[in-house]
Amino acid sequence: MAAEASEASKASTAGSGSADHARAVGSHADLFADGIAVRDGFLSSLRIRELIECAQLRRARGDFGAARVGADRRLQRREEIRGDSTCWLVEPLFAAERALLRRLEELRLDLNREGFLGLFDLELHYAWYPPGAGYARHLDQLQGRTHRKVSIVLYLNEAWEPDAGGKLRLFGADDDYRDVEPVGGRLVYFLTAGREHAVLPTQCDRLSVSGWFRSRG
Ligand code: OGA
Ligand code: MN
């Protein structure tokens, strides 16, 4: 497990702290060099709390549904592959959700400026993993569909305990990998094409907002 521990520490020091984030604004060199970027304190703890409350309200009124795998008419529930429930961020939105979309719009414009990615919109959902759930190793681009260009995940876990499972595991070439703990306020974004990743089974409730910046093509 030594490799895992050092990967985890690498991940948790990358871009840590809001001061680092401030310095990093306008610079996504890590995304373009490694295909992966991690930013802590992407949103304040107050904003994170508001989003948690939005998600709780939506869950209470039944907006969440069991996530399914596959595409279109072949969608199916396969809990051994994917055990989360999701809820799309669609109108009518709460104020905190609108504020998040504004922040992500800044990120989209930044990425287009720096990387000429041609990102033109964002699809976004909450994902809630109950204890025991995970998401097996997968790609975010469905076969033959390449319009998802940048995957993003913002974690909404206020008091995440290390070693509670639930890490995001990002695989590299040669089956090496990098693990990221789903700490509240942390944003992970990565180039979607070819990047296999998994959510390791979590021991605690694990909440995030995740989605994709898309291009037209
Ligand atoms: C996904 C996904 C990663 C995470 O929703 O497709 O891979 O850390 N999420 O929640
Ligand atoms: Mn994914």
- Using DSSP's 3-state secondary structure scheme, residue 77 falls into coil
The span from the CA of 199 to the CA of 165, in Å, is 9
- For residue 18, name the pLDDT band (cuts at 50, 70, 90): very low
Q: List, for residues 173-205, the tens digit of each pLDDT value.
A: 888 999 999 999 999 999 999 999 999 999 999
pLDDT band at 215 (very low <50, low <70, confident <90, very high): very high
From 142, 151, 177, 180, mutation site for ligand 1 pocket: most ligand atoms within 8 A of C-beta: 151
197 lines ligand 1 (CB under 6 A): yes
Using the predicted structure, report yes or no on whether residue 158 has a pLDDT greater than 90.
Answer: yes
> Under CATH, to which class is 2-214 assigned?
mainly beta
Task: Tell me, using a 6 A CB cutoff, whether residue 168 lines ligand 1.
Answer: yes
Domain residue extents for the chain: 2-214
Whether residue 140 has its Cβ less than 6 Å from ligand 1? yes
Please report the pLDDT score of residue 12 as a whole number.
Answer: 40
What is this structure's pTM? Answer: 0.87
| 30 has a pLDDT exceeding 70 | yes
CA atoms of 60 and 44, how far apart (whole Å): 25
| Ligand 1 pocket test target in 191, 199, 204, 209 with most atoms within 8 Å of CB | 199
Is residue 20's pLDDT more than 70? no
Compute the average pLDDT of residues 120-137. 97
* pLDDT for 10 beyond 50: no
Task: Give residue 16's pLDDT.
Answer: 42
Spatial distance between the Cα atoms of 6 and 200, rounded to a whole number of angstroms: 17
Judge whether residue 88 has pLDDT over 70: yes
Q: For residue 75, what pLDDT band results from cuts at 50, 70 and 90?
A: confident
- 184 burial (CB, 10 Å; 0-12 / 13-18 / 19+) is buried
Of 212, 193, 209, the residue nearest 128 (C-alpha):
209
Quick check: 39 pLDDT over 90?
yes
